[in-house]
Structure 1
Amino acid sequence: MVNMKKNVIISTDPGIDDAAALALAIFSEELDVQLICPLFGNVSVQNTVANTEKLLTFFNKNIKIVAGSQQPLIRETIEASNVHGKTGMEGFNFPKTTQSVDSSLTAVEAMHQVVSKNNTNTTLVGIGPLTDIALFTHLYPQDLAKVEEIVVMGGTLDRGNFGVLSEFNFASDPEATKMVFNSGVKIRVAPMQVGRQAKVMPETSEKIKNSNKTGDMFYQLFSRYRGGSFVSGLNMYDALAIALILKPEIFEEVTTRVEIETNGMLTAGASLIDLKNYLKLPNNADVAVAVDSKQFEEWFVTALEKAI
């Protein structure tokens, strides 16, 4: 029987909402997650690697882990421990780690190996800074014809959550983000504001808690997460990238131009999502501008119930 699952590589910086996104992808019957590349971002690469090892051990999944970049291409590193806690995944006592990172190669080399050897095209998912995906597109242009699409959570339709106009993932490495959007590969984007529509409300958190051991683990992590609150609802930003792949029908998407500001003293990392064609430039991305929050929440709960 032919394997009809989508080949997937995930670049991530777990982070609590990254952890949820990883669970949704790993346990999906439609995705074949072949490589996970934790890099700097929410917390240091040492912590994101350790968190990825913990998660795969907890999930009892043997997926190749290769560490990604420790810092942006040219800028100083920023982080978000104020949202995710010092280690990125505090609040749950994970079992002793049995999964370990492959340190014999770089994340970019590992991406090349997977993409070039696959018989069918591969989807790249970026739910952290886009440094490694940018380096991959730069160093292995011959592989880009075998990339189905790049799906990212990042950017902002208006105001930011790191700078006045910049969202954290894109602001972490503006130059890398610009490279990705200039790569010529099909790109789909879930911006920050859509993540704020895709909330997990208090009664849903309780449902997740009582669903299975994974639900209980996430409930405990969510109790430490500062992306929203148990009272007002938790923002599941990074899960949106997985939803874009698996449930595109619940989104409203617009094909448009996305430009990334790299020169501005006050606006570096800002995403100019040109919904009104002011820039008069060719389209380079499909951008989600809205999501059906009720359908997202239902999908999120049902998908996590499979994470056993």
Structure 2
Amino acid sequence: MRSIWLDTDAGFDDWMTMLMLASHPGLRWLGVGVVAGNASLPVALANTLRICHHYRLKVPVFAGCDRPLSAPLETAERVLGAQGMRTTGMPLPEIQVAAEGLDAVTALGNALRNSPEPVTVLAIGPLTNIARTLQAEPALVDRIHELVLMGGSTERGNHTPAAEFNIYVDPEAADVVFNQAGLKRRMFGLNVCRQVLLERAHVQEVQSWPGERAMCLAGYLDAYQRIRHPDGRVPMPLYDPVTSAWLLRPELFTFQSARVDIELQGRFTRGMTVCDWRIGQSALPNTEIAMTADGPRVVDAVLQAVRQTF
């Protein structure tokens, strides 16, 4: 049994990741920390609570940091809409459910201390909550089995030419995390996510599933797949679910060791993940980076796991 903590900014691909975790019988899901990123913290938190309620996910949800460590918050609302995700169908039902009383940083610290075994921390948003936890109590690194993150890139960015969105939102937090001694890191960047492509046929498959919860998911999936082109003719990469797909099907991915540092000062490169592959020459590795994915099989694994939750 693997203990898991999820840290999320709750857009649509975060939603799919949550359903995948719920489907995995070998996971002990300790909690969800929410961070500002795709949208402001109140919106991301409301999304998380609505998803958990509508899909009957029995996991405690905690509100985390509402801004980066030192920079103003920049969200993805210009691309994803004011809710951090759009739909072409029925919206998630509105609910009156509150988060747990503790903040996400305190809750994560408690979970790490109290877990019977070290915890795998899955981070699929900006790394602010994780950095705050490590800053508050550095010794907790010994209670983290591995930090598995969706973020960064070995090549071009998406939010800027050089930077991937999750890292760009809070590069100072990412710098804390990538320089934390003793922390095992596994990075799923844009380079591997762009090998995992969601196509119209996948949307149509989900649209064929019976039930109201499947219908609700299908509307958001449809809107997500149309981000690159209004009629969906251009495949859309899956981002956050690749992390949970690796937990389910690790044989579908390959990795390479590298030294990853975060660019904090560059006028055009702030938030860039600088990957040094010269291991054994001038660099010591600090991260395992996902390099290849069997894209079609990963997408199939994602959809199969999601369907099991209905």
Which TM bucket (shorter chain)?
over 0.9
1:40: which partner in 2?
36
| Cα distance in 1 for residues equivalent to 2:291 and 2:140 | 30
CA-based RMSD: 1.7
| Cα distance in 1 for residues equivalent to 2:76 and 2:63 | 19
**Which segment drifts farther, 208-217 or 68-77?**
208-217
8 Å contact kept, 1:26–1:32: no
**Which segment drifts farther, 32-41 or 216-225?**
216-225
2:307: which partner in 1?
305
8 Å contact kept, 2:203–2:222: no
Aligned partner letter, 2:134: T
Cα 1:60–1:155 shift into 2, 3 Å: same
1:97-108 aligned within 5 A: 97=95, 99-102=97-100, 104-108=101-105
Deviation at 1:224, TM superposition (A): 2.4
Q: Which of 163, 166, 171 is the matching residue for 2:168?
A: 171
Deviation at 1:66, TM superposition (A): 0.7
1:217: which partner in 2?
216
Cα 1:76–1:247 shift into 2, 3 Å: same
1:1-308 aligned within 5 A: 4=1, 6-91=2-87, 92-97=90-95, 99-102=97-100, 104-183=101-180, 184-213=182-211, 214-225=213-224, 227-229=227-229, 230-277=232-279, 280-308=282-310
Instruction: Tell me the SS of whatever aligns to 1:36.
Output: strand
C-alpha offsets along residues 161-193 of structure 1, whole Å, 9 cap, x if unaligned? 112211000000001001111113111010012
Gaps of 5+ in 1: none
| Cα distance in 2 for residues equivalent to 1:212 and 1:272 | 45
Deviation at 1:277, TM superposition (A): 4.4
8 Å contact kept, 2:113–2:140: yes
Cα 1:152–1:96 shift into 2, 3 Å: same
TM-score, normalised to structure 1's length?
A: 0.93
8 Å contact kept, 1:187–1:284: yes
Deviation at 1:38, TM superposition (A): 1.3
Deviation at 1:245, TM superposition (A): 2.2
| Cα distance in 1 for residues equivalent to 2:254 and 2:216 | 31
| Cα distance in 1 for residues equivalent to 2:280 and 2:98 | 48
C-alpha offsets along residues 41-71 of structure 1, whole Å, 9 cap, x if unaligned? 0111010000001000111123111101111
8 Å contact kept, 1:56–1:99: no
8 Å contact kept, 1:212–1:305: no
C-alpha offsets along residues 253-293 of structure 1, whole Å, 9 cap, x if unaligned? 10111111112222111001223449822100100011001
Deviation at 1:305, TM superposition (A): 1.3
| Cα distance in 2 for residues equivalent to 1:96 and 1:158 | 39
**Which segment drifts farther, 131-140 or 24-33?**
24-33
| Cα distance in 2 for residues equivalent to 1:127 and 1:80 | 14
Aligned partner letter, 1:191: G
C-alpha offsets along residues 182-233 of structure 1, whole Å, 9 cap, x if unaligned? 1131110100121111112211211122234443222200232254353222
| Cα distance in 2 for residues equivalent to 1:297 and 1:82 | 26
| Cα distance in 2 for residues equivalent to 1:212 and 1:304 | 13
| Cα distance in 2 for residues equivalent to 1:54 and 1:125 | 20
Instruction: Tell me the SS of whatever aligns to 2:194.
Output: helix
8 Å contact kept, 1:16–1:84: no
| Cα distance in 2 for residues equivalent to 1:238 and 1:287 | 15
8 Å contact kept, 2:279–2:285: no
| Cα distance in 2 for residues equivalent to 1:146 and 1:212 | 42
Gaps of 5+ in 2: none
| Cα distance in 1 for residues equivalent to 2:228 and 2:29 | 28
| Cα distance in 1 for residues equivalent to 2:228 and 2:124 | 18
Query: How many equivalent pairs are there?
Result: 303
| Cα distance in 2 for residues equivalent to 1:257 and 1:215 | 41
8 Å contact kept, 2:8–2:34: yes
Instruction: Tell me the SS of whatever aligns to 2:31.
Output: strand
| Cα distance in 2 for residues equivalent to 1:228 and 1:189 | 24
Instruction: Tell me the SS of whatever aligns to 2:70.
Output: coil
Aligned partner letter, 1:26: A
8 Å contact kept, 1:53–1:98: no
